[in-house]
């Protein structure tokens, strides 16, 4: 079996005294053909193509002192012939039973060309989203609804309009807004898209509204199509609550022809432990992209929902890595973002990024619309390399001035 026909899983495995080479071999055999050494030679010839292979075992002996723990990074290649070309099958194969076998974390997956060819990936990706918006030359700006539970359509319309007036490119539903009698899906879409059209007359700017796609698994595709028929031009989806395959199902449906933004809800149940779970760059990066997310929200390094910066950057890298033969997903680092952080965000993430804010827009002293404007001004400042205070002092940039007075800034 050529390595080209195998998917490779990378694990980090902690153990004070294990023989990691033996453990790796146990995984490679145990999760594929089950047993090997006792097979008759003739049978081995037949079974060879199903046998997992140990690619590498890198042992890190414990450092002196209490902090050090002995661990190994283990790479195992699994023949693609053993599983169907879907994410549940791959995850169950490489981390089904193994996830329960001691201190072990799934760090990464490399897909075989044949496996990956079953995934169309994001329909729009970074370029497609930019084309829809007609914005090529600057980072995008996304605004998050503030409180929406218990609000009626009129309240939603007003909040949407104020956000849109600020010049944001995308507005996303709160991920905890579900089907409800006050703002049911289609009415919500119609109301918000109408507010978007009104605002466009003022701003001259297009806008995507990512409405939260919820409900039973069996109705997701139909709900998406209902939303689209009502005018929705983007969807928000809590991927991990439904499984990656549900996202794959939606993204590969030709009738669901709008960008899908993946929300990281529940991700903290998987990635933060050093010893267990699935690493963020795989969980929120590679697998979200493979499953077809056009935009992916993930914790920013700036807010209270903290992820170490190197992990943030690794999520971003996975979303845009040219080695994966599907479109790149737009990175959306989220939480704790105010206009004063924009130069830092652009330095950390480059221009292929969505600057995403909730409190940093709604909490602006001059109101929500000024909040969006302050961000747009901060983006322009950063792009021309002007310091925020200097840019803010120019006439017309009072919104940015007020923002950095309130929240400060980082250069």
User: CB-based contacts of 117: which residues, under 8 Å, 6+ apart?
Assistant: 85
- By annotation, the residues acting in catalysis are 97
At 107, give phi and psi (nearest 5°).
Answer: -95, -40
The footprint of a copy of itself on residues 279-308 (CB under 8 A) is 299, 304-307
Nearer to a copy of itself, 221 or 344 (CB): 221
For position 93 contacting a copy of itself by CB under 8 A, the verdict is yes
**Binding track over 378-407 against a copy of itself, x by CB under 8 A:** ------------------------------
Rule CB under 8 A: say whether 91 interacts with a copy of itself.
yes
Q: For residues 27 and 52, is the Cβ–Cβ distance under 8 A?
A: yes
Q: What are the structure tokens assigned to 1, written together?
A: 């079996």
Task: Please list every residue from 37 through 66 that binds a copy of itself, using CB under 8 A.
Answer: 46-47, 49-50, 66
| Of 24 and 246, CB closest to a copy of itself | 246
* Three-state secondary structure call for residue 54: strand
Residues that contact a copy of itself, how many (by CB under 8 A): 76
- Quote the least distance from Cβ 42 to a copy of itself, whole Å: 13
CB of 26 to a copy of itself, least distance (A): 10
80 versus 169: smaller Cβ distance to a copy of itself: 80
Which residue lies nearer to a copy of itself by CB, 335 or 400? 335
- Segment interacting with a copy of itself (CB under 8 A) among 144-152, 313-321, 342-350, 376-384: 144-152
Q: How far is CA 380 from the centre of its chain?
A: 26
Quote the tokens at residue 363: 């909490």
> What DSSP designation does 257 have?
-
Interaction between residue 34 and a copy of itself (CB under 8 A): yes
User: Residue 352: CB partners within 8 Å, gap ≥ 6?
Assistant: 126, 139, 320, 328, 330, 331
**Of residues 80, 96, 99, 78, the one with CA closest to residue 88:** 96
C-alpha to C-alpha distance for 260 and 123, rounded to whole angstroms: 9
Cα angle 357, 358, 360; round to 5: 70
Among 25, 54, 98, 195, indicate the residue that binds a copy of itself (CB under 8 A). Answer: 98
Contact positions with a copy of itself (CB under 8 A) in 308-347: none
DSSP symbols for 220-238: HHHHHHHHHHTT--EEEEE
Q: How far is the CB of 137 from a copy of itself (least distance, A)?
A: 32
Give 179 or 411: the residue with its C-beta nearer to a copy of itself: 179
Q: Would you count residue 154 as binding a copy of itself (CB under 8 A)?
A: no
Stretch 224-283 residues interacting with a copy of itself (CB under 8 A): 238, 241-243, 245-246, 248-249, 263-270, 272-273, 275-278
- Centroid of chain to Cα 342: 20
Residue 336 per-residue DSSP state: S
If the CB atoms of residues 285 and 343 are measured against a copy of itself, the closer one turns out to be 285
Q: Look up residue 128 and give its two tokens.
A: 């497609």
């Amino acid at each position: 079996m050529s390595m080209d026909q195998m998917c490779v899983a990378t694990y980090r495995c902690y153990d004070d005294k294990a023989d990691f080479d033996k453990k790796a071999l146990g995984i490679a055999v145990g999760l594929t053909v089950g047993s090997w050494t006792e097979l008759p030679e003739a049978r081995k010839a037949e079974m060879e193509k199903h046998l997992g292979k140990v690619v590498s075992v890198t042992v890190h002996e414990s450092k002196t002192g209490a902090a050090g723990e002995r661990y190994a990074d283990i790479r195992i290649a699994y023949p693609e012939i053993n599983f169907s070309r879907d994410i549940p099958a791959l995850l169950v194969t490489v981390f089904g039973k193994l996830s329960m076998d001691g201190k072990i974390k799934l760090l990464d997956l490399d897909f075989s060309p044949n496996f990956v060819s079953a995934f169309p990936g994001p329909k729009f990706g970074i370029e497609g989203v930019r084309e829809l918006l007609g914005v090529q030359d600057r980072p995008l700006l996304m605004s998050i609804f503030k409180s929406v539970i218990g609000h009626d359509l009129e309240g939603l319309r007003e909040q949407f309009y104020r956000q849109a007036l600020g010049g944001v490119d995308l507005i996303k539903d709160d991920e905890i807004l579900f089907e409800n009698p006050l703002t049911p899906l289609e009415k919500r879409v119609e109301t918000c898209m109408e507010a978007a059209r009104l605002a466009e007359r003022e701003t001259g700017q297009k806008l995507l509204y990512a409405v939260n796609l919820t409900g039973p698994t069996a109705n997701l595709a139909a709900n998406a199509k209902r939303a689209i028929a009502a005018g929705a031009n983007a969807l928000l989806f809590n991927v991990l609550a439904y499984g990656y395959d549900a996202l794959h199902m939606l993204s590969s449906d030709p009738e669901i022809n709008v960008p899908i933004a993946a929300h990281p809800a529940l991700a903290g149940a998987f990635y933060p432990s050093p010893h267990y779970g699935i690493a963020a760059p795989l969980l929120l990066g590679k697998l979200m992209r493979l499953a077809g997310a056009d935009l992916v929200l993930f914790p920013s390094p700036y807010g209270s929902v903290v992820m170490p910066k190197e992990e943030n950057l690794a999520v971003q890298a996975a979303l845009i890595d040219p080695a994966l033969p599907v479109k790149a997903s737009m990175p959306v680092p989220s939480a704790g973002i105010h206009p004063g952080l924009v130069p830092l965000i652009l330095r950390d993430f480059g221009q292929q990024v969505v600057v995403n804010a909730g409190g940093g827009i709604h909490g602006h002293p001059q109101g929500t619309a000024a909040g969006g404007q302050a961000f747009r001004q901060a983006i322009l400042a950063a792009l021309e390399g002007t310091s925020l205070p200097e840019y803010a002092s120019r006439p017309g940039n009072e919104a940015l001035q007020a923002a950095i007075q309130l929240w400060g800034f980082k250069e």
